[in-house]
Structure 1
Amino acid sequence: MVNLEASEIASDNLLSPLQLLMETRREQARQLLQEWGNHSLSYLMLNPDNRLFFESTGQAFVAYRVNFGAAITVGDPTGQPEAIKRCISEFSAACRRKRWIPVFFSIEKPHRHYRTLGYKGVQVAEDAAIELELLEFKGKNWQDVRTSLNRANREEIQFCQFFPENHEIMAQFRQISREWVRNKNMPELGFTLGTIASLQNPEVRSYYAIDKVGKVHGMVSWLPRYTANGWTLDLMRRRNEAMPGIMEFLIARSALAFREEGYSTISLGASPLTADNKQEGMLSAGWMLKQVKQYLHNYYDFEGLHDFKRKFLPTWKPLYAFYPGGFGLTQGGLAILRLYLSN
C-alpha cells in the first residue's frame, strides 16, 4: 500500500525520495489506465489530490481521498481483471487498519466480491452514454438540438477548439467561470469534476463558441477515457447573455467532431442522485442521500441537469456506491458532500 500525503513532500527544489516514489507510482497508474482505463472517471483518477493504493502485485490500483474518517474511491479499481478482487480485499483491509470506512464510489462494474465482503450497495447516479457511429440529429426528439445548431449558424457563432497557448480566450473562460460560480453562490464542485485550471492540460480537449465580434458565449471540456475510445464531458460554462441553446450547440458539434476523428463513444457524465434504486439487490438511497440531495439542491439542479442530458437520447448506465453496513452510508455520504464542496 502507498499513501501519498502532500504534507510529507519536501519543500525544496530537489525531488525527495518520497516525491520520486510518488512520480513512479503515478506513472505506474497511468500505464494501467492506458491499458485498462475505460471508466468515465479514468482521467480524474490521476488528480494529484488523490492518493493511490496498489494491490500487492502492482497489477491493479484504486484512487481515493480520505475525508471525515472515510476513504472514498474515484471510480472502480483499475488494472488486470484477475487483480481487481485482490485490490478490493486489500484496500478494504488497509482501511480497517487505519480505522477508515471504505466507500467504493461511482462504480460502473459492481464486482460480486463486494457482496462477498459484506458490502451494501446503492445506486448514486446514472451515466449518460452516447454511441457516435449512428448519431443523427433527425426526428422530433432532436428538435431542441437542431434549433440550437440552426440558430448558431444564423447568428454566425463559430465552433472552435481551444489550445492552452490562446491566452485571450483563456481569459474569457476564466471570466465566464467566475460569473458561473458567482451565480451558483458556491465554489466549483470538485472531486469527480475538473476545474477551469484543467484546461491547460494537453490531454483535456476543450471547445468554445465565439461570435463575430470575438465574444465567447460558452465552453465545454472533455476528458479522455483511454481504452474506451471516447471522451467524458467535464465542464460546461456559459455566459449569462449567451445565445439560447449554446450548450446544446457545443455538445452536438463536439460529438460530430469526435466522430470525424474516429472515436466511438462519449459520456455526458453522471446525473447524480436521480436514480430510484429499484435494481435487484440495490438498497433504497435512504435518508442520508436524500439529505445530501436536499442540501445541494439550493445550488445544483439535479433534475434540470438530468433533463438536459435527456435531449441527447443517451443510454443510461447506473453508477453505484458500495460501503460497509452500519453507519457507512451516513459517514460516507457526509464525506462525499465535504469533498465536493471543499474545492
Structure 2
Amino acid sequence: MTDAAASPDADTTQQTPPRTPNRALTILRRTPFTITFVLLMLVIAAATGTLLSPAADKPWFTDVATGLPAFAEGRWWTLFTSPFFVDHPIVFLTLAPLVIGGVGWAEWRFGSLRTMGLFIAGHIVGVLGAAGILAIVVQTNWAWAVRLSETTDVGPSCGAFTALVFAIATLPAPWRLRGRIIIVIWISISVLYLGRLYDLEHAVAMVAALIASGWLPAFRHPAGRPSEREWRLIGFAGLIAIGVIQVIDLIVPFNGPLGENHPVASFVDVAIDVVVITLVANGVRQGYRIAWIGALIVGAYNLVTAALALAVLPVLVDVGALDSPRDLLGIVIAPTVFWFAIMVFLIVGRGAFRVTLRRAHRKLPAESLSQPETVERIKRFGGGTISWMVTWPANRYMAVDEGVVGYQAHAGVAIMLGDPIMPSGAHSTAFERFTRATQQAGLIPCAFSANRISDDAKPEGWRSVIVAEDTIVDLPGLKFTGKAWNAVRTSINKAGREGIEFRMVRLAEEPWNVLAQVRAISEQWTGDKGLPEMRFTLGTVEEALDPEAYVGLAVDADGSLHGVTSWLPVYGGDGRITGWTLDLMRRRDGGFGPVMEFLIASSAQYFAEQGYDFVSLSGAPLVRPEDAEAGPVDQVLEQLGGMIEPLYGFKSLHRFKQKFNPRSEPLYLLYRDEGDLPRIGIALTRAYLPDASLRDLVASAASVAKPAS
C-alpha cells in the first residue's frame, strides 16, 4: 500500500481503482487462431452434414483426406483440406480438448503467427513423414504397412500435438519432463499396439517436435545427470507404461505393427497385474528399496517367460498351433524390450532407491546435532526472527558444515523451520545438502516461514509463495507520539489509572502462584478454540519457560494477572542479541480491556531502553501482503486462511498488530514444485496441530461451516 493510499487525508478523487480485465475478452484477444479454427471446423461439419454422420461415408471424403493413395494420385491439396475434417462425429469429443488445450496453450505462450506456423509445420511433417515411412516399409509386404498404405485420414491432431509439445517445452522443471513422459508413453503405446495411420502420423510429428524444441536455443535446457527425484519419476513412468501394455495385451483387441491380438482374460488376471505393477511403481516413485527389488524380480520373471515363449515358437508352428511366428513374436518382443530397458535403467540408477520401508528407520544421511549444539550455532551465526523456535523440543537438527538446519518430519515431508543457521553466504549450500539428504531418505523437502535471504538462496527450479507477513517495530528513537499511536497511548494511560503494572520477567524464575495464573489463563484461552494449542511456529507456556525467553506480565494491585506475552531472542551473530520476537499472547477473560496493546507497547519501551534494535510482532500464518500478486497457489492459501479464521483469528491478529505501525517483511514457503503442495499441506497441518485427532478437525470444520443462528 502506498503512503497516499494509507493516509486518511489523501485525495481519493485521483485514485481510480484499476479495472479488472474481462477474462473472456482476454482469452478472445490472445487466442484468435485457436477460436477461429475450432469455429471453422464446426461450421464446415454442419454445412457438410459430418457433424451428425461420419465423413468417411461421404462420396467426397477421398478428395479431402491425406495418405499414400491421395499422394499417389496427385491430390497434394489434401495437405491443406484434411485438418478441417474429422472422420466420425464422436472424434470431436476427443479432438476438441487436444486442439483447444494444445493449440490454445501454445498461442497463449507464443502468439498467433508462431502458433500457426507450428501447427502447419507439424501437420505437414506428420502426414508426409508417415507416408514416406509407409512407402518404404510397404516394399517388405508387412501386412500392417500394406493395410495402412491403402488408408486415408483427416484431422488436425498432428498440428495440435506439435503445438502441445512446444508448449510443454516452456514449462519449468520437473513439469517439463513429466509432460514429455506422458506424451511419449501415450503415443508410443498407441503406435506400437493400435497402429492406425493417425497413430503413426502422431509419432512422426511428436519425434520431430521433441527434436526441434530441444534443438532451438529458445527451448534448450542444460542437460546433466538426472537427480534422484528424476530417476524415480522416470522409473515410475516406465513401470506404468508396462502396466498399460499388460492390460492392453490382456483385454484390448488390436491389429498393429506387433501383430493381431484377440485376448481372452478374466477380470482376476487383469486386476492382479494392475495391482502388482501399481504397488511396485508407487514404491519406485518414493524410492523404496523393496519396491526396486520387486521391480527387478517382476522384470526378470517376464524376461524368463519371454525367453521360454521364443524357445517354443518353432514347436507351436510345427504342430499347427500358430500359422506364423509373426502372430506371437511382436506381442512377446515388445514387452520384453520394455522390461529389459526398465531393468537396465533401475540398475544404473540404483542409488536413488535406498529408502527403507519403515518410517522409523528413515533418518537423514547426515550428522545430527543436539539441542545445546544447535543453540550454540544460533548464537554464533545468528538467524531470522523465528530462528529461536528451532530450539523447541519437536525439532530435529541436521549439521551442515559449521551451521545447522532445524526441521520437522510429518507425512513424508521434511519441513525446514525458518532459515538455515549458517555463516553469511552459505545458505545455498545448506539448501542443497538438505534437499539431497531428505530425498535420499524418501522425504519431500520444503522450508516454511523463510525470509528473503533464503528465498534468494533456494535451489534452482524451486518455487516460493508468501505464507506470512512479519511485522517489525524498529526501536531506536521509538516514541508513542502522534495520531498514529493514539490507541497505544490510550492503553498505557488507562493502565496507569486502573493500577495495572507492567513487569518484564524470566517466567522460569517466578514463584509458583504466578506460573499457576499464567497456565490458567492459557488453558482458558485454549478451551475456547475447540482445538488443541497450535505448535510449530506458535509457542505455548512450556516454551515461555525457556530461561532465554522474556515474559511480559500485566499485574494489578492485588497481584492478579490480566495478560501475558513472551519474547524470544533474535541473535545477530557473535553471541549478540539484536532484537526480540513476540510469541505467546494470552489475556484473562473479563480482565483489563486493552491489555495486549499495553503489554506490547511496554515491552517495546523496555527493549528500547536496553539498547536492542527491533522487536518482531511475528508473522500470522496464512496472511500475505494485500498488494502482492496472487497466483493459483496464493488463492488456495487465501481460501484456507478464510476457513480457519473463525478458529484462530490470524487475520484479525494481523490487523491488531498494525496499531504499532510496523514495517513488514514477507515470509515464504519454499518448495520444489506444485506437485508437492498437497503433501506439504498435510504435513503443515500435523506440524501445527500434532495433538489434534481427525474427529477434532472434522468437528471444528463443521462448526466453522455452520451458519450462525
SS in 2 for 1:81: coil
Preserved CA contact (<8 Å) 1:124 1:285: no
2:628 is aligned with 1:304: no
Preserved CA contact (<8 Å) 1:277 1:284: no
Q: Which amino acid aligns with 2:673?
A: G
The alpha-carbon deviation at position 215 of structure 1 amounts to: 1.2
Q: Which amino acid aligns with 1:329?
A: L
Alignment of 1:245-284 (within 5 A): 245-276=594-625, 283-284=631-632
Alignment of 1:30-49 (within 5 A): 30-49=375-394
* Alignment match of 2:533 (pick from 184, 188, 192): 188
Q: Where does the alignment leave 5 or more consecutive residues of structure 1 unmatched?
A: 1-6, 9-20
CA distance in 2, matches of 1:219, 1:270: 18
Give CA-to-partner distance per residue, 1:166-198, whole Å, 9 cap, x none.
Answer: 211100001100111011222111001211012
CA distance in 1, matches of 2:459, 2:395: 26
Preserved CA contact (<8 Å) 2:470 2:619: yes
CA distance in 2, matches of 1:170, 1:138: 35
* Alignment match of 1:327 (pick from 659, 662, 675): 675
CA distance in 2, matches of 1:260, 1:325: 46
The alpha-carbon deviation at position 61 of structure 1 amounts to: 1.8
2:416 is aligned with 1:107: no
CA distance in 2, matches of 1:202, 1:208: 16
Q: Report the counterpart of residue 556 of structure 2 in structure 1.
A: 211
Preserved CA contact (<8 Å) 1:32 1:60: yes
CA distance in 2, matches of 1:27, 1:160: 29
Q: Which amino acid aligns with 1:190?
A: R
CA distance in 1, matches of 2:428, 2:685: 28
The alpha-carbon deviation at position 274 of structure 1 amounts to: 2.1
CA distance in 2, matches of 1:276, 1:310: 13
TM-score by length of 1: 0.87
Q: Report the counterpart of residue 83 of structure 2 in structure 1.
A: none
Kindly report the root-mean-square deviation, in angstroms, between the aligned alpha carbons of the 2 structures: 2.0
SS in 1 for 2:538: coil
Which has a greater percent of helix? 2
CA distance in 2, matches of 1:277, 1:50: 32
Find the structure with the greater CA-based Rg.
Answer: 2
CA distance in 2, matches of 1:115, 1:94: 14
The alpha-carbon deviation at position 226 of structure 1 amounts to: 1.4
2:476 is aligned with 1:127: no
CA distance in 1, matches of 2:627, 2:673: 19
SS in 2 for 1:185: coil
Alignment of 1:157-168 (within 5 A): 157-163=500-506, 164-165=508-509, 166-168=511-513
The alpha-carbon deviation at position 94 of structure 1 amounts to: 1.3
CA distance in 2, matches of 1:328, 1:291: 19
2:634 is aligned with 1:290: no
CA distance in 1, matches of 2:529, 2:558: 28
Q: Pick closer, same or farther for the CA change 1:212–1:121 going to 2, 3 Å.
A: same
226-235 or 161-170: which moved more?
Answer: 161-170
Q: Report the counterpart of residue 72 of structure 1 in structure 2.
A: 415
Q: Report the counterpart of residue 519 of structure 2 in structure 1.
A: 174
CA distance in 1, matches of 2:539, 2:551: 12
CA distance in 2, matches of 1:68, 1:208: 38
CA distance in 2, matches of 1:84, 1:274: 25
CA distance in 2, matches of 1:111, 1:301: 27
CA distance in 2, matches of 1:71, 1:38: 20
Q: Pick closer, same or farther for the CA change 1:331–1:229 going to 2, 3 Å.
A: same
Preserved CA contact (<8 Å) 1:142 1:311: yes
Which has a greater percent of strand? 1
Preserved CA contact (<8 Å) 1:162 1:207: yes
Q: Report the counterpart of residue 317 of structure 1 in structure 2.
A: 665
Q: Which amino acid aligns with 1:173?
A: V
CA distance in 1, matches of 2:625, 2:488: 28
CA distance in 2, matches of 1:156, 1:49: 40
Q: Pick closer, same or farther for the CA change 1:92–1:208 going to 2, 3 Å.
A: same
Q: Pick closer, same or farther for the CA change 1:85–1:291 going to 2, 3 Å.
A: same
- % identical aligned pairs: 37
Preserved CA contact (<8 Å) 1:40 1:267: yes
CA distance in 1, matches of 2:459, 2:416: 17
Q: Pick closer, same or farther for the CA change 1:278–1:159 going to 2, 3 Å.
A: closer
Preserved CA contact (<8 Å) 2:412 2:444: yes
CA distance in 1, matches of 2:578, 2:671: 31
Q: Pick closer, same or farther for the CA change 1:113–1:246 going to 2, 3 Å.
A: closer
Q: Report the counterpart of residue 685 of structure 2 in structure 1.
A: 337
CA distance in 2, matches of 1:232, 1:113: 24
The alpha-carbon deviation at position 269 of structure 1 amounts to: 0.3
Q: Pick closer, same or farther for the CA change 1:153–1:110 going to 2, 3 Å.
A: same
CA distance in 2, matches of 1:113, 1:310: 30
Q: Report the counterpart of residue 61 of structure 1 in structure 2.
A: 404
The alpha-carbon deviation at position 60 of structure 1 amounts to: 2.2
The alpha-carbon deviation at position 26 of structure 1 amounts to: 3.0
Q: Pick closer, same or farther for the CA change 1:111–1:129 going to 2, 3 Å.
A: same
The alpha-carbon deviation at position 200 of structure 1 amounts to: 2.2
Q: Which amino acid aligns with 1:170?
A: L
Q: Report the counterpart of residue 579 of structure 2 in structure 1.
A: 230
Preserved CA contact (<8 Å) 2:500 2:555: yes
Q: Pick closer, same or farther for the CA change 1:83–1:59 going to 2, 3 Å.
A: farther
CA distance in 1, matches of 2:579, 2:470: 14
Give CA-to-partner distance per residue, 1:254-278, whole Å, 9 cap, x none.
Answer: 0111111111110000022221586
